[in-house]
Amino acid sequence: MNRVFIEELPSLYKQKIKISGWIYRYRPLAKTAFIILKDCSGTVQCVADPKIINDHNLKLDDVVELIGSSRAEPRSKQGFEFDIEEVRVLNRSAHNLPFNSNVDLSDIGQDIILTHRPLSLRNEKINGIFQIQAEIVQSFRDFLRSRKFTEIITSKIVSGGTEGGTNLFELKYFERSAYLAQSPQFYKEYGVAGFERVFETGHVYRAEPHATSRHLTEYYSLDLEMGFIESVEEIIQLERELLTFIFGRLNEKYFSIFENFQMPKLPNMMQVPIWSFETCLEKLKNKFNRNDLIDDLDPEAERQLCKLAEEETGVASVFVLGFPLSARPFYTQPGSEKNCSASFDLLFRGQEITTGGKRLHTRESLEDALKARQISPALFEDHLQMFTLGMPPHGGLAIGLERLTALILGLQNLREATMYPRDRNRIVP
């Protein structure tokens, strides 16, 4: 007898079938036993004569097969119930679990949630976080594929950093050392020379010594790079459209998850404004009396700017364009204003979720940029020669998946949006 999903029950009334799943709720009364069975398609109330059930000593989170039949039941939430004829236990959950999957886990510590990952993933709310995350990453790919982007897969074992040598994880690689990639930046630029438009979804690594709620040593980066652009604004416009597409899909398919987290629908991002870095400093000075910022924003400034954007546009999001060139990596294209760069951050709900920009695309300009930073171009020779092979003007961006997931659902700690978070203190499970 093949197992059917719970969601299929309404089309199978009165037929003898098998359903499988977890005991999500269990109420053994004297005359009738009630079980809520949960599988990946939904839940159903099941009823049984206690005689059929009692010997099995069922408990929450046990894994069972139930044989029986379904029927319409207007009084139940789903509109149907399942009459159990036979129970088979497939696996037992342990006694004395620290929690069951059906409870509110807000007060359970992150450590217990992680060391019981199979159980916590079954919890509706936590399960929802990773459903949202899976949909974000897939929507990112779907949107870009529809815009002629090709997915690339690039190595995470590299000989050095893209942005200098700090915070790199060192790897023993046979007789020498290698490092874990901090970004696919160089590789996606090379990809532009072959495919024009490329994206990659994959892990990146930072040997981040701080273990705060905002830092992970391993995170998942949604990267794209696009050739033949004339200005950084084209990348900004692409991101408006990309996020509007992703958010639209999430609103459509996962609104019930937002409700579980008491979060509103996601906004249309098409009107998110661009504020120059200078304008941002002025606004921060005028509205929040911030006189301490010079060449970068801090977390407080990011929150303040989103607040201003929300007041002005209704959406707590703003592109900050034109960071000081000195605060950006060497390959950044200079902007139109003196000492400015053609690069931006996207702030959303108080945090930076994207860094992007136009890149230098000629060998000469890259050499000059390195020299201006007192770095010898010879150190980057392997990389620089790649720009003599027909490299178009290009730009791109990167979105941190965990941070975006956390902001969408209002999670305070990035670790909640990471299935197996890694920080200075944690490498298990």
Q: Which is nearer to a second copy, 5 or 13 (CB)?
A: 5
DSSP element (H, E) containing 401: helix 401-409
Positions in 345-384 near a second copy (CB under 8 A) = 361-362, 382-383
Pairing of the two strands 351-359 and 394-400 = antiparallel
Longest Cα–Cα distance in the chain: 84
> Does residue 130 interact with a second copy by CB under 8 A?
yes
Give the type of residue at 324: P
The 306-325 contact track toward a second copy, x by CB under 8 A, reads --------------------
How many residues sit close enough to a second copy to count as binding (CB under 8 A)?
97
User: Of 27, 77, 145, 214, which one interacts with a second copy (CB under 8 A)?
Assistant: 145
Considering only residues 399 to 418 of the shown chain, the ones binding a second copy according to CB under 8 A are 401
Residue 109 contacts a second copy per CB under 8 A: no
DSSP lists the bridge partners of residue 84 as 68
Q: Find the binder of a second copy among 28, 50, 118, 314 (CB under 8 A).
A: 118
Among 49, 85, 86, 151, the residue binding a second copy under the rule CB under 8 A is: 151
Beta bridge partners of 396: 225, 357
Residue 67 in the binding site for a second copy (CB under 8 A) = no
CA dihedral 82, 85, 91, 96 (to 10 degrees): 70
Residue 119 lies near a second copy (rule: CB under 8 A): yes
Question: Which residues touch 100 (CB under 8 Å, ≥6 apart)?
Answer: 60, 61, 119
Instruction: Kindly write down the DSSP assignment for every residue of 133-168, as one continuous string.
Output: HHHHHHHHHHHHHHTT-EE----SEESS-SS-STTP
Tokens 């606004």, residue located:
283
Residue of 69, 93, 251, 268 that binds a second copy (CB under 8 A): 93
We find the least distance from the C-beta atom of residue 79 to a second copy, in angstroms, to be 21
Select from 201, 211, 212 the least CA-distant residue to 246. 201
CA dist 75 and 195 (Å) reads: 58
Query: Out of 76, 159, 326, 339, which residue is the one contacting a second copy (CB under 8 A)?
Result: 159
The DSSP element (H or E) to which 130 belongs, if any, is helix 124-146
Structure tokens at 3: 């197992």
Residue 120 binding a second copy, by CB under 8 A = yes
**By the rule CB under 8 A, 71 interacts with a second copy:** no
Q: How far is the CB of 318 from a second copy (least distance, A)?
A: 26
Q: Please give the structure tokens belonging to residue 266.
A: 């996601």
Among 47, 52, 108, 137, which residue interacts with a second copy (rule: CB under 8 A)? 137
- How distant, in Å, are the alpha carbons of 168, 233, 243, 344, 360 from that of 396? 23, 11, 14, 10, 12
Q: What's the rounded Cα separation, in Å, for the pair 327 and 48?
A: 67
Binding test (CB under 8 A) with a second copy, winner from 110, 127, 251, 313: 127
Toward a second copy, which CB reaches closer, 170 or 282? 170
Site stretch for a second copy (CB under 8 A), options 174-182, 317-325, 347-355, 369-377: 174-182
Rounded distance, CA 196 to CA 224, Å? 11
Q: Taking CB under 8 A as the rule, does residue 56 contact a second copy?
A: no
- For residue 340, the 8-state DSSP code is B
- Choose between 181 and 308: whose C-beta lies nearer to a second copy: 181
Q: Does 245 bind a second copy (CB under 8 A)?
A: no
Q: Point out which span in 44-52, 120-128, 236-244, 269-277 binds a second copy (CB under 8 A).
A: 120-128
> Applying CB under 8 A, which of residues 35, 37, 48, 158 lies at the interface with a second copy?
158
- Closest CA relative to residue 100, chosen from 65, 66, 81, 124: 124
Could you say which residues in the range 177-236 bind a second copy, by CB under 8 A?
Answer: 178, 180, 186-187, 189-197, 202-203, 205, 207, 209, 217-218, 220, 228
91 binds a second copy per the rule CB under 8 A: yes
